């Protein structure tokens, strides 16, 4: 990356894929490298730095550099899914290590932590990550090795004061990692706020077109733990396929535009249904009524994200029937695509979920905001 490219703003860096061009063919778009192995030099070296398809594929290099640039990191690694990226961080810890994670977080990871990780000897403690005192109480100085955060957090969009939480984590001697999927590399800058690692389900906003499952980690420093994570991915084999890496880069080129529109649409939907008698709560960090609004306003820039939830006043069955009546919104899991999705979270998350039974999660896409509002309005009924 040249000195000029290092100074590029996110929109320029993304649109130009950091200025990549092929020195030989003059192609503007990086190729897809479909290979599982690389030629060794005659003197037995691998000067290209690549030996085999499980640790390396050049198709990853531009999206990894671009993501690292957007997050202000020292490096990034793509994984075969967001879960593969997140679980790598926990699996790189040692038996007996204590970790603190949020009570409200992506349910799939919480489920894995509570059902698998504890059996392997990690001690997992869940804390209300919207409350710094609760985080502080859960941390065990010298024993807690990882503080895991997510902000805004699925599905009630709890906002963590990232800078303050990172300081608490570091004081206790823990590494601090954050699932920043919803902030999508542009709305929050966790590394500047003190986090050591940033995780993304790149399936979501980074790719943005609902056609790739991918994950990523970004590190603040090229330190020993990062080297352990690199080694872990190599041996574990959770590498993203080259076609998916190529599609991901194509999606990332338009991330700033898509995200800007999703944030604007989400704010419009939230404002329209806040106070509507058919909805007993609109959970969105962009509304002043949200408990995390002031902190979100301090640590997010360019919008409050494309994710919100509504609680349907007449309860669970009314929420499920609302989701059944939408025509533009799609009833589907996932988030961060160009098309808006609606989902009854309690049905997905099952027992132990912090999602109230009357909650519908909305992933707001890039359609016309009024169409989305009108569709939800008719689906809510009288």
Ligand X SMILES: Cc1ncc(COP(=O)(O)O)c(C=O)c1O
| Residues of the shown chain interacting with ligand X in the complex, contacts defined by CB under 6 A | 81-83, 106, 108, 154, 179, 181-182, 201, 203, 213, 215, 334-335
Nearest approach, Cβ of residue 3 and ligand X (Å): 34
Nearest approach, Cβ of residue 72 and ligand X (Å): 20
Nearer to ligand X, 82 or 241 (CB): 82
How is the beta sheet containing 279-283 ordered, strand by strand? 279-283, 307-312, 359-363, 341-344, 330-331
Nearer to ligand X, 154 or 265 (CB): 154
Is position 377 annotated as part of the catalytic site? no
Pairing of strands 215-219, 279-283: unpaired
Can you tell me whether residue 78 is helix, strand or coil?
strand
Nearer to ligand X, 244 or 380 (CB): 244
Nearer to ligand X, 172 or 197 (CB): 197
Q: Among 65, 110, 175, 204, which one carries the catalytic annotation?
A: 204
Nearest approach, Cβ of residue 7 and ligand X (Å): 31
Q: Which residue is nearest to ligand X (CB)?
A: 82
Give the ranges where the chain is alpha helix by DSSP (H).
Answer: 3-7, 10-15, 61-71, 82-91, 107-112, 132-138, 162-171, 224-236, 242-252, 255-273, 293-299, 316-325, 345-349, 369-380
Q: Among 106, 110, 253, 284, which one carries the catalytic annotation?
A: 106
Give the angle 101-256-229 at the CA atoms, nearest 5°.
Answer: 40
Nearest approach, Cβ of residue 237 and ligand X (Å): 16
Nearer to ligand X, 18 or 208 (CB): 208
Spatial contact of 161 and 178, defined as CB atoms under 8 Å apart: no
Is position 375 annotated as part of the catalytic site? no
Q: Among 65, 110, 179, 361, which one carries the catalytic annotation?
A: 179
Is position 358 annotated as part of the catalytic site? no
User: How far is it, in rounded angstroms, from Cα 300 to Cα 231?
Assistant: 33
User: How far is it, in rounded angstroms, from Cα 330 to Cα 272?
Assistant: 20
Nearest approach, Cβ of residue 241 and ligand X (Å): 14
Q: What residues are annotated to the active site?
A: 54, 106, 179, 204
């Amino acid at each position: 990356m040249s000195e000029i490219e290092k100074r590029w703003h996110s929109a320029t860096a993304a649109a130009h894929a950091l200025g990549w061009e092929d020195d030989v063919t003059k192609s503007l778009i990086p190729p897809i490298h479909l290979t599982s192995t690389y030629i060794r030099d005659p003197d037995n070296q691998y000067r290209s730095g690549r030996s085999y398809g499980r640790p390396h594929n050049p198709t990853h290099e531009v999206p990894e550099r671009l993501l690292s640039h957007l997050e202000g990191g020292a490096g990034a690694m793509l994984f075969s899914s967001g879960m593969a990226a997140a679980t790598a961080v926990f699996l790189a810890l040692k038996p007996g290590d204590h970790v603190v994670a949020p009570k409200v977080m992506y349910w799939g990871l919480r489920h894995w932590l509570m059902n698998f990780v504890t059996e392997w000897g990690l001690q997992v403690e869940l804390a209300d990550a919207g409350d710094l005192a609760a985080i502080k109480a859960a941390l065990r100085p010298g024993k807690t090795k990882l503080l895991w955060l997510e902000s805004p957090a699925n599905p009630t969009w709890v906002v963590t004061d990232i800078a303050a939480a990172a300081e608490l984590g570091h004081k206790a001697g823990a590494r601090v990692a954050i699932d920043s999927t919803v902030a999508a590399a542009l709305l929050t800058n966790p590394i500047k706020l003190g986090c050591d690692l940033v995780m993304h389900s790149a399936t979501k906003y980074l790719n943005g077109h609902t056609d790739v499952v991918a994950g990523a980690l970004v590190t603040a420093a090229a330190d020993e733990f990062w080297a352990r994570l690199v080694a872990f991915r190599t041996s574990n084999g959770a590498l993203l396929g080259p076609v998916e890496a190529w599609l991901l880069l194509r999606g990332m080129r338009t991330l700033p535009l898509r995200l800007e529109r999703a944030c604007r649409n989400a704010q419009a939907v939230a404002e329209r249904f806040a106070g509507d008698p058919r909805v007993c709560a609109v959970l969105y960090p962009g509304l002043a009524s949200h408990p995390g609004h002031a902190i979100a306003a301090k640590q997010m820039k360019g919008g409050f994200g494309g994710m919100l939830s509504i609680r349907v006043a007449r309860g669970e069955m009314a929420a499920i029937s609302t989701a059944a009546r939408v025509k533009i919104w799609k009833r589907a899991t996932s988030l961060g695509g160009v098309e808006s999705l609606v989902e009854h979270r309690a049905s997905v998350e099952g027992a132990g979920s912090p999602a109230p039974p009357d909650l519908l999660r909305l992933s707001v896409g890039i359609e016309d905001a009024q169409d989305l509002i009108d569709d939800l309005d008719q689906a809510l009924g009288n």
